[in-house]
Amino acid sequence: MNLPRALPWLDERRSALLAEIGVPAWWQPRALLPRPAGEGDVGAPIGTTVRVAPTPHAPRTPPPDASASAHPTPAPTGCPQAARADFAPVPLPLRDPTPRCEPAPDTDLATLDWPELEAAIHACQRCGLAACRQRAVPGVGDRRPTWLIVGEAPGEEEDRQGEPFVGRAGWLLDRMLAALDLQRGHGVYIANVLKCRPPRNRNPEPDEIARCAPYLRCQIALLQPRIVLALGRFAAQTLLAEGGCLPPEEAARVPLGRLRGRVFQARLGELTLPVVVSYHPAYLLRNPVDKGKAWADLCLAAETLASADGAAPGAPTA
């Protein structure tokens, strides 16, 4: 197939992947482009984009299933504490060589290791969702990841299989990750705010989120990711409120579109982690016009890592 000649970072393979899922891959942050020899700075302002002609390929459609579960955003309001990030390198935390999960004292979870945490999730009766689940869905992937990706809650297929993002939304997520040379299990861990499926994929209730939050807290403490990608309104609200980036009431009001396109520094347990917010893949399946923005968010996250590492632009970050 004849792909349009893309810029070097957006090579033929990546262009093909993006074309397959219908992402208009015009967004290519400069910081990820190869630099001329001798040029030292990696950074370029967010929003500096290089446009690549849209591909002529018809996007492939994802496999059908019924598990889509992203939700519309509420009415706009201000977001004064979340300044648009300049492209200063973000200092990333050093990893604790022997991580343990020490949940906040307001929970009754003791210090847990992975088997204990997963057993606790599978046996959980903290809220009414326990009664409707087929399987709890703790999370999946590399337990020493660079990336932690947080979604909303299991859908129908996830509830059946016990793994997050295995339905249509997962199909799209996997392909967007592949365009960054990422895949679940290799430098990436995927979890949800809620570990059990809400009936008929309804929105999570605040009380359910509060009761489930200690599990995500534990996961973050054990995983020690270097960057967090929050997919959708509920993941963004939970992580930004928990991380002290926004007061909870404000996090609940600000529309997702106002939270994306910037890098938050969230205090999550003992770690201060960069958090990038993006659209939920299920929302993107319904609103493909926003796929380009979601791709830009992924690039922003990759760029944040690359610039913190001083890595060669375009180098794998996982």
Distances, alpha carbon 96 to alpha carbons 113, 160, 161, 226, in Å: 14, 35, 32, 12
Q: Which of 92, 76, 138 is closest to 303 using CA atoms?
A: 92
**Alpha carbons 30 and 35: distance in angstroms, whole number:** 9
| Closer CB to ligand URA, 35 or 160, in the complex | 160
Which distant-in-sequence residues (6+ apart) come within 8 Å of 293 by Cβ?
260, 261, 278, 279
| Closer CB to ligand URA, 55 or 238, in the complex | 238
Instruction: Establish if 219 lies at the interface with ligand URA (CB under 6 A).
Output: no
| Closer CB to ligand URA, 15 or 192, in the complex | 192
Strand partners for 29: none
Which distant-in-sequence residues (6+ apart) come within 8 Å of 241 by Cβ?
247, 248, 251, 252
Largest interatomic CA distance in the chain: 61
| Closer CB to ligand URA, 45 or 257, in the complex | 257
Among 62, 154, 187, 314, the residue binding ligand URA under the rule CB under 6 A is: 154
Among 158, 159, 174, 250, the residue binding ligand URA under the rule CB under 6 A is: 158
In the complex, minimum distance from the CB of residue 48 to ligand URA, in angstroms, rounded to a whole number: 31
Instruction: Establish if 151 lies at the interface with ligand URA (CB under 6 A).
Output: yes
Instruction: Establish if 73 lies at the interface with ligand URA (CB under 6 A).
Output: no
Instruction: Establish if 67 lies at the interface with ligand URA (CB under 6 A).
Output: yes
Number of residues forming the site for ligand URA (CB under 6 A): 14
> Taking CB under 6 A as the rule, which mask of x and - marks residues 232-271 in contact with ligand URA?
----------------------------------------
Instruction: Establish if 297 lies at the interface with ligand URA (CB under 6 A).
Output: no
**Alpha carbons 263 and 274: distance in angstroms, whole number:** 6
Asked whether the beta carbons of 275 and 240 are under 8 A apart, the reply is yes
**Alpha carbons 76 and 144: distance in angstroms, whole number:** 37
| Closer CB to ligand URA, 194 or 306, in the complex | 194
Among 15, 55, 69, 146, the residue binding ligand URA under the rule CB under 6 A is: 69
Asked whether the beta carbons of 216 and 263 are under 8 A apart, the reply is no
> Which residues would be at the binding site for ligand URA (CB under 6 A)?
67, 69, 151-155, 158, 164-165, 167, 169, 192, 282
